[in-house]
Chains A and B, each alone.
Chain A
Amino acid sequence: MSVVSDRVTALVPTRWWQRSNEILSGVFEDDRRLLAVCLTPALALYVLVAILPMLWAFNLSLYEVSTLNPVWEWTGPGRLVDILTSGAFQAAFGRSLIFGFGSVAFQIVVGVSLALLVNREFKGAVLARAVALLPYMVPAVAIGMVGQFMLNAQYGIINLVLIRVGILNNPVAFLGLPETAMATVMVVGSWKFAVFVTLLTLARLQSIPENFYEGATMCGANAYQKFRDVTLPRIKNVILIAALLRTLWMFNKFDIIYIMTRGGPGEETTTIPLHAYEVAFNQYDLGQAAGIAALMFVFLALWSIVYFRVARPEEEVRVA
C-alpha cells in the first residue's frame, strides 16, 4: 500500500508536467485554439461586467419592482412604451442630448486646442505637457465638489474674481440659474475630459513629421491652411473616436451632475442618468429605473452603430 502510493506520488509530477507540456505546445501550435485561450478570459469578463447586468436591467424593466422590496411583479414590455411616452423621460432625454453633445463639442475644441498648444516646442514644453495632463488624475467627485465650492455665489472664488475684475456687479449663482446651470455643469464636467482628448490628439500630433509643415509652407500655406491640410487629416480619426467615446460617457455621466446640482435648479440639469436615479431612489421604482437604463443602452447602441456607419472613425488614416 505505502509502496504503491509512494510510487504514485513520485510519478504524478513528472507525468503531469510532460502531459501539460504537450497540451501547451499543442495550444501554441494551433492558431484557433490559441485564439480561444487568449480571448476567453476577456470575453468572460465582458459578459460578466457588461452583458449580464444589461440583460438583468432589461429583465428587471419588465417587472414592477419597488426599490425597497425584493418582490418582483410581472408587468411586461408595455412598461418601456410608458417610459418612452412619459414627459419626464422625454425632457430628461432632451437635456441629455444637450449635455452630451454640448460637453463633447467643448471637450473636442478645448482638448484639441490644448494639444496644439502644448505640442509646440518651447522652453518648459515637457512641464507644460505634464501640467496639462494633470486634471485627468483628479477624481470627478473632487472636481464636482471643488467646482461647486468655487462657483458658490456667496463665498466662491469665481464670483469674487469676476466682481473684482468688474465683469460682474453682483454674484451670480451659476449652478442655480436656469440660464447658466446646464452650461456651467457642462464646462466643469468637461474640462477634465478635455484632457483625455488632448492625450489622444497629442500622441497623433507628435507623429506628424515637421517637414510636412515645411512642405506646406513652401507651397504657400498659412497657419490655418497648414492646420486644415496637414494637422486635421492626421488627427481626424482620433477626434472621431474620442467624440464617440466621450458622447457615450457623457450621456452616462452621473457623478459630476449629481454632486454639483442634483439635477437642479428645478430639473434644469436632470439628464437621463439623474432621472433614472430619482426614479429609483426618490420614487423607489426600481423597475422603471431599470427600464430607463435599458432604453438608454438601446439608444447608445443605435447611436454607436449609426456613428460607425457614417463617420467611419475606424478607418485608419493613410500615413504612407
Chain B
Amino acid sequence: MGESPNTDGSTPHLSRRAVVAAAGVGGLSTGLAGCLGLGGSGSSEPVKYISNNNSPQFKEMLRGFAEDFEEERDIEVDIEFTEIGGDYGQRVSQLIQGGNPPDIINAEQFRIGAYATQDILRPVDDVIDAVEEEEEEVPEKFGFVYDGSNRLVPAVASVTNNWYRSDIYDEMGLEPPTTWEREREAAQAITEADNDLYGLGYTTSATVYGSYHAWTRLWGNDAKVAARDGDTVNVALDSGQNRDRVREVLERAQQMVEYSPTATNWDWGEIYESYAGGTTATAIYSGGRPKTQSIGQDRPWADATKRVSNPYNSSNRNASLGNSAATGYALVQGSANPEGAKEFIQYMVTGERLVEYARALRFHNIPIYESWYEPGSAYRDGWDYLNDNFDEETIQGERQALFSDETQPFTAETEPANPYASPAFTSFQLGQMFYDVTEGGMNIDDAIDEAASVLRDNTGME
C-alpha cells in the first residue's frame, strides 16, 4: 500500500506521539493521567477477562499469568473461557447487552472494527506507551486507531503466507508460486499429474477463511474493497478501474477452482487440513498452521513446506503482498475495573509472559517485535521446536513479510484506517461473491453488484 509516509525507512510505530501525528487529532488525554504500573487500581472489583482460548494448555497458562499477577500486584483477575462449541462473539455481546461488560476481550485486527464503531472500546494509548517502554516500539500497522485513539493492544501477529510443497515443486521443476502465472502453471501441472494432489485449495466460501482468502486474492491484483472520501468510506468494489481489477480476480477464480477440490464450504480448518493431509500442494494462510500442522502430524513434507507471499498479477505489481494481522486485547467501556485491566494486559504482553505465550503459538502467530527474530533472542534461544522444524530462511522470510510495507491490515486500505473493514469482513460477502461466480453460477458483474450492495446495507460504508 505504501501510503504511510515512511521516507526515512524507519518503521512507524504505535507510541502515542506517532498516533497523534498520524491521526492529526490532539487533546487526547484520556487515560494518560493514570500512571500505569505504578500504583494499585482504585477498584476492588476483580478484573474480568473473557478469553477465546479454550485449549487446556492455554487455559493453564493464562490462569498462571493471572495468579502470578494477583500475587505481584494484589489485583484479582477472573478469566472466563468460552465453552467448547460456544461462540465468543455471542458471549461477549451477551455480557454487554446484559449490562455487565467484561474488562478485557480478545480482538483481532480484522474484527476489532465492529466493536470500535459501536464506541464500546476504551482507548489504550497509555497501555501501548507503557508496553513500548518495557519492550520496544510496536509498528503502527499492528494497531487499530479509531476516533483518534488506539483501541487494540497487540500481542502477536500473523502474515499472509502462501505455503507450498517445495518437494513437489522441485520434483516437477516448477517455480515457487509467487505470481499469478507461476501459481496457475504449478496448480495445473500438479493437479494433472498422477499424484493424487490438487494444486491448491482455492476457497470460495462464505466463511471467515473464505473472507480472508477473497480479500487477499483481491489484493493480489491491487483491487480494493474500500476507499475513503474524507469522513465517508465508500465501497470500492464496483467502481471505476477497481471494478475491472475485481472482475479480473473473479475471472481468474473461475479458472483456479479447476485445480482445487471443492472448497465452497471451507474454513480455516479445511484449508490447513487439506494441506497437512496431503490433498493440496499449496495453501494461502494467515499464519503458520499448514506448516505447524504438517510438523505436528509428522508429515514427510513438513520440512519441505516453504513460504512465499500472496501471488500477485505481474502486470499489477503495486499491490500489497498480503495481509498482516495483529491479535491482542481490547478494553470494554463500562466495565468495572479498567485500571486493573490495563495493568493486567500490560503484564501479559510483556517480558517472559509474552515469550511463553508466543512460544505456545508454535510460530503460527509470531512476535510483533522485530528483535525477537534475531537468533539468540529470549524468544528464540533454546526453543527446540523452532530450531528443529523451521529453517532460517522461513523464519526470516516471515519476519521480512510481516514488518515490510508490503503487508498491511485490511483496515489500511484507507487512511485513516477503515473502521468498516471489520463488518465487511465478517459479513462474509467477499467469500459469497467468489462462491457466486464459481459454484453459484452467477454472472461476474451481477455478483460484484450484489456484494457491493450488501456491503452498503450492512456495514457503515457508502
Q: Chain A interface residue count: which class? A: 20 to 34
Cβ distance B277 to chain A, nearest Cβ, rounded Å = 6
Determine the distance from Cα of A66 to Cα of B119 in the docked complex, in whole angstroms: 11
> Residue A178 at the B interface, CB < 8 A?
yes
Determine the distance from Cα of A154 to Cα of B197 in the docked complex, in whole angstroms: 11
User: Is there contact, CB below 8 Å, between B90 and A281?
Assistant: yes
User: Is there contact, CB below 8 Å, between A173 and B206?
Assistant: no
User: Is there contact, CB below 8 Å, between B261 and A69?
Assistant: no
Give which listed residue, A153, A176, A178, A266, contacts B432 with CB less than 8 A: A266
User: Is there contact, CB below 8 Å, between A286 and B206?
Assistant: no
Give which listed residue, B87, B115, B263, B435, contacts A68 with CB less than 8 A: B115
Known: A68-B118, A154-B261, A266-B440. A281 touches B89 (CB 8 A): yes
The 10 residue pairs across chains A and B that have the minimum distance between CB atoms: A265-B264, A173-B262, A266-B435, A176-B264, A176-B262, A69-B118, A67-B93, A68-B118, A264-B265, A176-B265
Chain A interface, DSSP helix/strand/loop, else mixed? loop
Nearest B residue to A285, CB-CB: B458
User: Is there contact, CB below 8 Å, between A154 and B87?
Assistant: no
Determine the distance from Cα of A281 to Cα of B454 in the docked complex, in whole angstroms: 16
A residues lining the B interface (CB < 8 Å): 65-70, 88, 141, 153-155, 171-173, 175-178, 181, 261-267, 278, 280-286
> Residue B68 at the A interface, CB < 8 A?
no
Determine the distance from Cα of A286 to Cα of B264 in the docked complex, in whole angstroms: 28
Cβ distance B41 to chain A, nearest Cβ, rounded Å = 24
User: Is there contact, CB below 8 Å, between B435 and A265?
Assistant: yes
> Residue B436 at the A interface, CB < 8 A?
yes
Cβ distance B459 to chain A, nearest Cβ, rounded Å = 8
**B residues less than 8 Å from A262 (CB atoms):** 206-207, 265, 267
Interface size on B, residues (CB 8 A): 41
What is the count of residue pairs linking A and B with beta-carbon distances less than 8 angstroms? Answer: 103
Known: A69-B96, A175-B265. A284 touches B206 (CB 8 A): no
Chain B interface, DSSP helix/strand/loop, else mixed? loop
**A residues less than 8 Å from B261 (CB atoms):** 153-154, 171, 173
**B residues less than 8 Å from A141 (CB atoms):** 85
Give which listed residue, A153, A176, A284, A286, contacts B423 with CB less than 8 A: A284
User: Is there contact, CB below 8 Å, between A283 and B458?
Assistant: yes
**A residues less than 8 Å from B207 (CB atoms):** 262, 264
User: Is there contact, CB below 8 Å, between A70 and B99?
Assistant: yes
**A residues less than 8 Å from B115 (CB atoms):** 68
Nearest B residue to A263, CB-CB: B206
Selected A-B contacts with CB under 8 Å, 26 pairs = A65-B97, A67-B93, A68-B115, A70-B96, A70-B334, A153-B262, A173-B263, A173-B265, A175-B265, A176-B263, A176-B439, A262-B207, A262-B265, A263-B206, A264-B205, A264-B264, A264-B435, A265-B265, A265-B440, A266-B206, A266-B264, A281-B89, A282-B426, A282-B427, A285-B458, A286-B93
Determine the distance from Cα of A173 to Cα of B92 in the docked complex, in whole angstroms: 34
Give which listed residue, B97, B265, B439, contacts A286 with CB less than 8 A: B97
> Residue B273 at the A interface, CB < 8 A?
yes
**A residues less than 8 Å from B114 (CB atoms):** 68, 284
**B residues less than 8 Å from A181 (CB atoms):** 265
Nearest A residue to B425, CB-CB: A282
Determine the distance from Cα of A171 to Cα of B260 in the docked complex, in whole angstroms: 12
**A residues less than 8 Å from B96 (CB atoms):** 68-70
Per-residue interface assignment for chain B, residues 87 to 130, with 1 indicating a CB less than 8 Å from any chain A CB and 0 otherwise: 10110110011010000000000000011001110000000000
Residues of B47-69 contacting chain A, CB below 8 A: none
Further pairs besides A67-B89, A70-B334, A284-B118: 19, Cβ < 8 Å: A65-B97, A67-B93, A70-B97, A88-B454, A154-B273, A172-B262, A175-B265, A176-B262, A176-B263, A176-B264, A177-B262, A177-B264, A178-B264, A178-B440, A181-B265, A264-B264, A267-B206, A267-B432, A282-B428
Known: A70-B99, A153-B261. A264 touches B206 (CB 8 A): yes
Nearest A residue to B90, CB-CB: A281
Nearest B residue to A259, CB-CB: B85
User: Is there contact, CB below 8 Å, between B93 and A281?
Assistant: yes
> Residue B188 at the A interface, CB < 8 A?
no
Cβ distance B117 to chain A, nearest Cβ, rounded Å = 9
> Residue B279 at the A interface, CB < 8 A?
yes
Determine the distance from Cα of A282 to Cα of B457 in the docked complex, in whole angstroms: 13
> Residue B274 at the A interface, CB < 8 A?
yes
User: Is there contact, CB below 8 Å, between B436 and A266?
Assistant: yes
Give which listed residue, A70, A266, A281, contacts B87 with CB less than 8 A: A281
